[in-house]
Structure 1
Amino acid sequence: MSSATELMGKLTSSTAPFPCTFAVSAAKKASLRFGFIDDLDDQETWAALPGIIASYLETYQQIARETSLIVLFRPERETGDVAHYYRKFWDVLQYLHRHDPASWPDGIPEDPEDGRWEFSFAGTPIFVVCNTPAHKRRASRSNPEFMITFQPRWVFEELDSSSARGIAARRVIRKRLRAFDSEQPSPELGSYGDPENREWRQYFLPDDNAEKPGRCPFRHGAHGATPAARGEGTGD
């Protein structure tokens, strides 16, 4: 069974409903798109990734309101721990930033500690989610292959935290998370634009709620290795 087929089965399961109702709806509507990268540890194989994302962003609004791009990386010979994948995740986002074909979009702050910051590529703000084979307790963030999901902010435009649909969707997702995971929903889950919310903390959640994120590894305009890649981990 291919990794994409296995994932689709997980998203459309009726016996163990996946928490993210947006992903479930996209899977059922065939509005998910997939990209594949050969080697998580070899950045030369990442060269296709900017083009994969840019191509998706050229057409995503014609696909469906509920759409995402899922990028799967070939499984490693040995599974790393959560900290290993945390570093790799931020390496990938920094790599994309270095190879971004467009300027950072107007209206999106450059500082990740701003409540309106969002990772952006090709001029498009994007919510990013990482799944790894090291996640166990937080099954909603677990996947046999390292996986990154890119969801354009446009997907959530009609689901802000003050709308009836947005409130209802968040309530359902939290309920499903409690049933799906062995850990309570992360306290880092918040609403975009809330001054207290930090989007980057939601991108890569630790496997339990005991670990607290430190400083964001992403550096706007930086061309060197991220702090995560230098081994500085999640703490300050």
Structure 2
Amino acid sequence: MSSNPPPDPGPASGKAAPQARRAAPTSDLALTACTVGDIPPWGIAAARDLVGTLLDGGRPFPCTFAVAAAKKGGLRFGFVESPHDERTWEPLVGILRSYLDVYQRLGRDTSLVVLFRPEDGERRGPDALDHFFDRFWALLRFLHERDDQPWPGRVPLDPEDPWWEFSFGGTEIFVVCNTPAHVTRHSRHSPGFMVTFQPRWVFEGLEPGTPRGDRSREVIRQRIRRFDGMEPAPQLGNFGDPANREWSQYFLPDTPGGSTPRCPFLARAGARGAPGEAVAVPRGHAQDGDEAMAPHEDAPEPAGSGADGYRVLVNGDLQYSLWPAAAGLPGRWRDTGVSGSREACLAHVARVWTDMRPARFRRPEGAGVA
């Protein structure tokens, strides 16, 4: 136990600032002090239940990083009302920004856990899992579109690149999703939708091939076998390994032989440049094995293009992109008939592409969910 005094729990209004702490937050006062943003009536109870799971010595939780963060007071909590209603997501932008401002002061054992209101009824089965998969990626797109910092230059934009990682505020972040629909893979179950943000900085010194890194991975895999009663998911790999895809670890299937749909994340236009261009375009996503389109901002300027240098294309998933007017059409894409300057084409895409999910993932809100 640290001799440092406990942090100020924040004003009585129910809003607490993120602060360093050196002991496991188990009391309501300590949990309040470890909260970023507003605290809803259900919030502290949800955080208390999570910490209880992480610190349960009789059933060790697989992720030793999360357990260490809970023990040392490095966890920070944020609360959002609903994964199903995007109108409730705006506070998450400020929560994540505030956490990223302080996380390195908390030490390597830290994560931001964002808890959503626990579900009133059970949501189970493949349809429910698909629904939560859609909500999870919609949430990451929501954050990405509101990021006021450029995408890090060292991080690829294509999720199929083994060095890709979700990034926000110029920081690479490993993301984990837990849901009520995960009933077989217990380590990914949560009474309510839950998303954990772990800056990649916390894994420095634990790279594959290092004694600490290899030992940590082996301990985690042993704990998964005991906690889940199954082998670790084949999606779990090593960052940067040619066969690894980080995005596939974010949201795991619920069964040993299960799979998830293809990653739907699309970086916004101008993601590496000055913030403000928030129109998404396909980047590095091949359609049925075809060669992917080049990002529009990297497309070569057609000779003599002038003000009519681009045209708008659309594919079978109702995803849009800009393409040089003088260039031939790439496979699986068709011309919408809209052409003109880059700015005019971007404005058209912004008007018509209001649902960023590929068409095959779209469904009416709540449809097919038990």
Please give the per-residue CA displacement for 1:54-92, whole angstroms capped at 9, x wherever unaligned.
110011000111100000011234333211111110110
Distance 1:156 1:32 in 2: 15
Name the SS of the counterpart of 1:2 in structure 2. Answer: helix
Calculate the TM-score normalised by the size of structure 2: 0.61
- Does residue 156 in structure 1 map to residue 203 in structure 2? yes
Q: How much does 1:45 deviate?
A: 0.9
**Cα deviation 1:9-49 (Å, max 9, x = unaligned):** 10011100000001000000010000000122211110111
Deviation of residue 184 (structure 1)?
Answer: 1.7
Runs of 4+ more than 4 Å apart: none
Q: How does 1:7-156 map to 2 (within 5 A)?
A: 7-80=50-123, 81-156=128-203
Residues 40 and 76, structure 1, Cα contact 8 Å, conserved in 2:
no
Describe the superposition over 1:82-137 as per-residue Cα deviations: whole angstroms up to 9, x where unpaired. Answer: 11111110110011111111110110000000000000000000000000011111
User: Which residue identity lines up with residue 165 of structure 2 in the other structure?
Assistant: E
Residues 158-182 of structure 1: per-residue CA shift (max 9 Å, x gap): 1001111000000000000000003
Following superposition, the deviation at residue 202 of structure 1 comes to: 0.1
Residue 234 (structure 1) aligns with: none
2:262 to 210, 215, 222: 215
C-alpha distance 14-188 of structure 1, shift in aligned 2 (>3 A): same
2:78 is aligned with what amino acid? G
1:140 is aligned with what amino acid? S
Q: For residue 107 of structure 1, give the secondary structure of its aligned residue in structure 2.
A: coil
Higher RCO (CA-CA < 8 Å; seq separation 6+) = 1
- In our comparison, the structure showing a higher alpha carbon Rg is 2
Q: What TM-score, normalized by structure 1, do the two folds share?
A: 0.94
Name the count of aligned residue pairs. Answer: 231
| Partner Cα distance (2:258, 2:199) in 1 | 28
For 2:253, give the aligned amino acid.
P
Q: What are structure 1's unaligned runs of at least 5 residues?
A: 232-236
* Residue deviations 1:187-228 (CA, integer Å, cap 9, x gap): 010011111100000000010122223421111112742227
- Aligned-pair distance for 1:229? 4.9
For structure 2, the residue ranges without an aligned partner over 5 or more in a row are 1-43, 269-279, 281-353, 364-370
